[in-house]
């Protein structure tokens, strides 16, 4: 299974129109072409002009066939023309292709508030990072009320990143959960043991996202 993460940076003021087009047109076309829809998110904190969404396909060949069918679909062109009669909606598209790690659950959502985290591993340390998550971190997250949504690695381009998503009931639960996790002696012990020969993560980035009203749950 291949997952495609897509980030649409909206033309200023056009994010509501992008969301409306997905809700009223695009999702229906995705379903028509049997394109798997994982979820759609807007930023809860920080950037206020972008839509993040994740699709799923059986393979890269399956993706090319279905995506080409969608892009060449006359009703899609009509919907796009109608919604862009006053100008384009999307200023930039950023996409990446991923696959689930062996230890990842299948993406499902208990909550609507999610945190997307990207860890760029130190050279040669990605396997150790995977081991730490599968053997320690995931269980500790759950102990502290943090939902493990999914864990991915990229299959095109950068090969030393772990991309994962966590879920929370609200921002207060996120803060409480992380405070408890980071101060947990079991986590501190696991981290120290895994970093005996140096740190595993070189750069980490995270963003807080909220599922849109039209996103599947």
The domains of the chain are located at 2-98, 100-211
Residue 54's pLDDT is: 98
Distance (Å, rounded) from C-alpha 201 to C-alpha 163? 12
Residues 24 and 198: beta-carbon distance below 8 Å:
no
Distance (Å, rounded) from C-alpha 110 to C-alpha 188? 27
Q: Which residues pair with 204 in a beta bridge?
A: 119
pTM over 0.75: yes
Residues 160 and 123: beta-carbon distance below 8 Å:
yes
Q: From first to last of its 217 residues, what are the pLDDT tens digits of the chain?
A: 999 999 999 999 999 999 999 999 999 999 999 999 999 999 998 767 899 999 999 999 999 999 999 999 999 999 999 999 999 999 999 999 999 999 999 999 999 999 999 999 999 999 999 999 999 999 999 999 999 999 999 987 667 999 999 999 999 999 999 999 999 999 999 999 999 999 999 999 999 999 999 999 8
Beta strand extents in 25-160 (DSSP E only):
36-43, 50-57, 90-100, 113-121, 147-154
Residue 156's pLDDT is: 78
User: Which CATH code for domain 2-98?
Assistant: 3.30.70.100
Q: Which residues contact 152 (CB under 8 A, 6 or more apart)?
A: 3, 98, 99, 100, 101, 104, 162, 163, 164
Q: Dihedral sign for Cα 46, 48, 50, 56, please.
A: positive
Residues 104 and 158: beta-carbon distance below 8 Å:
no
Q: Which residues contact 63 (CB under 8 A, 6 or more apart)?
A: 2, 4, 57
Q: Classify domain 100-211 by CATH architecture.
A: 2-Layer Sandwich (3.30)
Residue 158's pLDDT is: 65
The single residue listed with the structure tokens 């950068």 is 158
Domains 2-98 and 100-211 equal at CATH topology level? yes
């Amino acid at each position: 299974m291949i997952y495609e993460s897509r980030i649409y940076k909206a033309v200023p003021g056009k994010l509501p129109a992008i969301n409306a087009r997905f809700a009223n047109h695009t999702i229906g076309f995705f379903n028509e072409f049997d394109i798997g829809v994982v979820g759609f998110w807007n930023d809860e904190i920080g950037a206020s002009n972008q839509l993040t969404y994740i699709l799923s396909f059986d393979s890269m060949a399956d993706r090319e066939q279905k995506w080409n069918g969608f892009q060449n679909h006359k009703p899609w062109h009509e919907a796009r023309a109608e919604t862009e009669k006053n100008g384009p909606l999307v200023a930039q598209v950023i996409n990446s292709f991923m696959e689930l790690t062996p230890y990842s659950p299948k993406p499902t959502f208990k909550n609507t508030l999610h945190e997307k985290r990207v860890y760029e591993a130190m050279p040669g340390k990605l396997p150790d990072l995977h081991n730490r998550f599968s053997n320690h971190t995931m269980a500790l997250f759950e102990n502290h009320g943090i939902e493990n949504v999914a864990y991915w690695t990229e299959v095109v381009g950068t090969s030393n990143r772990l991309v994962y998503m966590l879920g929370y009931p609200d921002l207060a639960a996120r803060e409480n959960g992380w405070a408890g996790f980071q101060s947990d002696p079991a986590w501190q012990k696991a981290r120290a043991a895994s970093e005996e020969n140096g740190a595993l993560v070189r750069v980490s980035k995270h963003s807080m996202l909220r599922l849109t009203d039209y996103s599947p749950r």
